[in-house]
Structure 1
Amino acid sequence: MIQQIYPSVMHPFRYELNKDMHFAAAHYVPSESAGACSNVHGHTYFLNVTVAGNELDETGFLVNFSQIKKLIHDRFDHTMLNDHSSLFSDEDPSRFPTTENVARIVCELIQAYLDRSANKAKCVQIFLRETPTSYVVYRPYAGGNYGE
């Protein structure tokens, strides 16, 4: 992975973990107004996940890096995103597999996993690069409401 500097997210937590990964996936945006993106095409997505929290788990981790990779890379790598019908939809624009929605759904998947952990860490930022010149940053707690 090429070294990348990511935008920082402000948060009130003591620990911050960042996990980089990439996955190759195809998709299409099911809307005529998406132009060429309405055709099936693929990307090598580069992803940075930021998790933060105040407490470590019983192994001394905020979260195990390998668990984040299993949740995302193992699910999406070499797949057609539109085929993940429990996550994406051809009818609901909030569930079209745009980079914005993929970033949000990745965050939701990670947060659902973290919510089952004893230390209750938070996924505070997703950085998802679709192409060398285009990326999305998703911050689920914009405005500072961390639900604690």
Structure 2
Amino acid sequence: MLQQIYPSVQHDYCYELNKDFHFAAAHYIPSDDAGKCRLTHGHTYFANVTVAGGELDDSGFLVNFAIIKQLIHNRFDHTLLNEDTDSFDNGISHRFPTTEVVARVIHDLVQTHLDSLPNRPQCLQVFLRETPTSYCIYRPKRKGKGND
């Protein structure tokens, strides 16, 4: 993967890590407004996940890089995203496997794992590139900032 510079997230944590990875997957968007994207087609998605926290674990990690990749790559690589009905739903527009929704799902999967760790790091951002010219950034609302 080529080195990229991603938009940064302002935070007060001591540690920040970013994990780049890619996965190949097909999808279709079940909406008349999606044009050609209504048809099944594939992408090589490039993702960057930003995790931050104030404490390291017993191994000296904020979180193990390999686990972040495994959470997503093992689930989505070489799949038809629409068939993952735990993550996506062809009947509910905010759960169609659009780039925006895939980025949010990646965040949620990573954050669920992070919530199980004693040092409680936070997934601050998911950058997801679908094509060489199109990408999405998902940042969850921050708790305690009037967004609860």
Matched, 1:120 2:120: yes
CA distance in 1, matches of 2:92, 2:57: 37
Aligned to 1:41: 41
Structure 2 letter corresponding to 1:45: Y
Q: TM-score, normalised by structure 2?
A: 0.95
* Aligned residue in 1 for 2:22: 22
Q: What residue ranges of structure 2 are gaps of 5+ in the alignment?
A: none
Give, in whole Å, the separation in 2 of the partners of 1:43 and 1:89: 19
1:34-89 deviations in whole A, cap 9, x for unaligned?
11011000000000000000000111000000100110011100000001001100
Structure 2 residue identity aligned to 1:18: N
1:12 Cα offset (Å): 1.4
SS in 1 for 2:128: strand
- May I ask how many residue pairs the two structures share in their alignment? 146
Q: How far apart in 1 are the matches of 2:143 and 2:112?
A: 21
Letter of the structure 2 residue corresponding to residue 118 of structure 1: P
SS at match of 1:26: strand
Percent of residue pairs identical = 62
How far has the Cα of 1:141 moved from its partner? Answer: 3.1
Distance 1:9 1:94, change over 3 A: same
What residue is the counterpart of 2:106 in the other structure?
A: 106
TM-score (norm 1): 0.95
**How do residues 44-55 of structure 1 correspond to structure 2 at under 5 angstroms?**
44-55=44-55
Q: Following superposition of structure 1 onto structure 2, how do residues 74-89 of structure 1 map, counting pairs within 5 Å?
A: 74-89=74-89
User: Does the 8 A contact of 1:19 with 1:65 survive in 2?
Assistant: yes
RMSD between superposed Cα atoms in Å = 1.4
Compared CA separation, residues 144 and 39, structure 1 to 2 (3 A): farther
